Amino acid sequence: MAGPQLRTGAELHALVERLYPICRSITGDGVRQTMDVIGEHIALQRHEVPTGTAVLDWTIPQEWNIRDAYVATPSGERVIDFQELNLHVVGYSVPVSRRMPLSELREHLHTLPDQPSWVPYRTSYYAPAWGFCLAQEKLDALPDGEYDVVIDSTLEDGSLTYAEHVVPGRVTDEVIVSCHVCHPSLANDNLAGIAVAISLAQQLALSQPHYTYRFLFMPGTIGSITWLARNSGRIDKVKHGLVLACAGDPGPLTYKKSRRGDAEIDRVVQHVLRSHEHRVVDFSPYGYDERQFCSPGFNLGVGSLTRTPYAGYPEYHTSADNPGFVSPAAMEDTLGALRDAFGVLDRNRRYVNLSPYGEPQLGKRGLYDSLGGRSDAKQAQMAMLWVLNLSDGEHSLLDIAERAGLDFDIVDVAARALHDAGLVKE
């Protein structure tokens, strides 16, 4: 049964605020709590992959969970407190319970001297370590002396959690939409992406799409590697895909092309983004999980849509990436672009002209009359002529729209009218 619909930017933002306090990492209960919330809105198939499982060239690590962490004076005053902000602890920190001088503690403290009031986000996933993150101005105010250092965490065999939501289509060929769920209190990177993906899935389910859409919620890097390893036998079903991140900041939309550079998803998104403030960048093997989907052995047609890309805004991976940094309007704009892009992708067909010798008479079929009164009647007429001329089984509707300099929707309407008149077939 469908859960509560996320329709407005305000509802998307409210979900970001709800998810923000949860301490997530690449494994652990924080990821499961996040899946519980997502599962209130869309049905999820959850997977638990045990520690030690080989996935391509990687191995599922031990599971990390944390209950509390702090640095306190001997009198008990907490000067760094995980309960106040989960970014205060380096992700995957091993357990600690010691008293030490500030001079020794400093070796385990991380700050941002150029942004003295912000707390950085740091992790140590695959090497045993521990540490705290704090504002530089807070560190500067700490007096010399002894401090109690406690990290109440566990690092033990468990599993990696990821989840899938499938919107069935009329065909079994798939479009994947991937979001990472491994970051703790970071609103743009990537809670905004999660909220937008949920709403997109809900809206696609109402549209009875052509393609089957598979939404992936999983930890970054190791999650997509795990999914690819477990689905390598059916990877040929994946025809298109997008990695969604940083969906709520005030910057313009940025589309990063797939490794192929000319995949259908690349062309579709660029066509749609003409009506949005945007920029397009070429593929590089650094960034989010597009680099796994586009690794040479898979080479899938998967691009990445963000607003400001990773590391492209000062608030990235800091405490300043909070719910106040993302806006309802920006998330609505991202959602609208995705909805439009998948609308084009879903309707991008190839047709064959059934009357290819000379131009068929449109008037006697009522095709000219059907355009009467339309403000775009001339464009619609030209679209019919272009569809007839280029419907040779080789050109898609997007090819025709770009060749003719017309909006995709006008070309699609023309093709449907010609199809209904028996002049073209898929």
Give, for all 426 residues of the chain, the pLDDT tens digit: 467 899 999 999 999 999 999 999 999 999 999 999 999 999 999 999 999 999 999 999 999 999 999 999 999 999 999 999 999 999 999 999 999 999 999 999 999 999 999 999 999 999 999 999 999 999 999 999 999 999 999 999 999 999 999 999 999 999 999 999 999 999 999 999 999 999 999 999 999 999 999 999 999 999 999 999 999 999 999 999 999 999 999 999 999 999 999 999 999 999 999 988 899 999 999 999 999 999 999 999 999 999 999 999 999 999 999 999 999 999 999 999 999 999 999 999 999 999 999 999 888 888 875 544 555 678 888 999 999 999 999 999 999 999 999 999 999 999 999 999 999 999
pLDDT at position 380, please? 86
Match domain 9-61+159-347 to its CATH number in 1.10.1240.10, 3.30.360.10, 3.40.109.10, 3.40.630.10.
3.40.630.10
Helix or strand run (H / E) with residue 109:
strand 109-110
Going by the annotation, the residues of the binding site for Zn(2+) are 183, 189, 317
Q: What is the 3-state secondary structure (H, E, C) of 325-390?
A: CCCHHHHHHHHHHHHHHHHHHHHCCEEEECCCCCCCCCHHHCCCHHHCCCCCHHHHHHHHHHHHHH
pLDDT at position 237, please? 97
Cα–Cα distance between 211 and 208 in angstroms, integer? 9
CA distances 231 to 225, 227, 234, 376, Å, are 10, 6, 6, 46
pLDDT at position 369, please? 58
Measuring CA to CA, which residue among 136, 142, 144 is closest to residue 115?
136
How crowded is the C-beta side of 320, counted as CA atoms within 13 Å?
12
Buried b (16+ CB within 10 A) or exposed e, 69-92: bbbbeeeeebbbbbeebbbbbbbb
Measuring CA to CA, which residue among 228, 249, 231, 246 is closest to residue 294?
228
Q: Which residues pair with 156 in a beta bridge?
A: 63
| Phi (first) and psi of residue 402, to 5 degrees | -70, -40
Are the C-beta atoms of residues 153 and 97 closer than 8 Å to each other? no
Q: Which fold has domain 350-425?
A: Arc Repressor Mutant, subunit A (1.10.10)
Cα–Cα distance between 161 and 186 in angstroms, integer? 19
Are the C-beta atoms of residues 24 and 184 closer than 8 Å to each other? yes
Report the predicted TM-score, pTM, of the whole model to 2 decimal places: 0.95
Helix or strand run (H / E) with residue 159:
strand 159-167
DSSP 174-219: EEEEEEE---SS-IIIIIHHHHHHHHHHHHHHHH--SSEEEEEEE-
Cα–Cα distance between 198 and 192 in angstroms, integer? 10
Going by the annotation, the residues of the binding site are 183, 189, 317
CATH 3.40.630.10 positions along the chain are 9-61+159-347
Paired tokens of 324: 């106040």
CATH 1.10.10.10 positions along the chain are 350-425
Measuring CA to CA, which residue among 218, 66, 60 is closest to residue 126?
60
Match domain 63-156 to its CATH number in 1.10.1040.10, 3.40.50.300, 3.50.30.90, 2.60.40.10.
3.50.30.90
**DSSP helix/strand/coil, 48:** strand
**DSSP helix/strand/coil, 51:** coil
- Can you tell me which residue has the tokens 């089957």? 212
CATH 3.50.30.90 positions along the chain are 63-156
**DSSP helix/strand/coil, 19:** helix
3-state helix, strand and coil shares in percent for the chain, rounded to the nearest 5: 35, 25, 40
Strand order of the sheet with strand 63-72? 78-81, 63-72, 146-156, 96-101
pLDDT at position 1, please? 44
pLDDT at position 377, please? 72
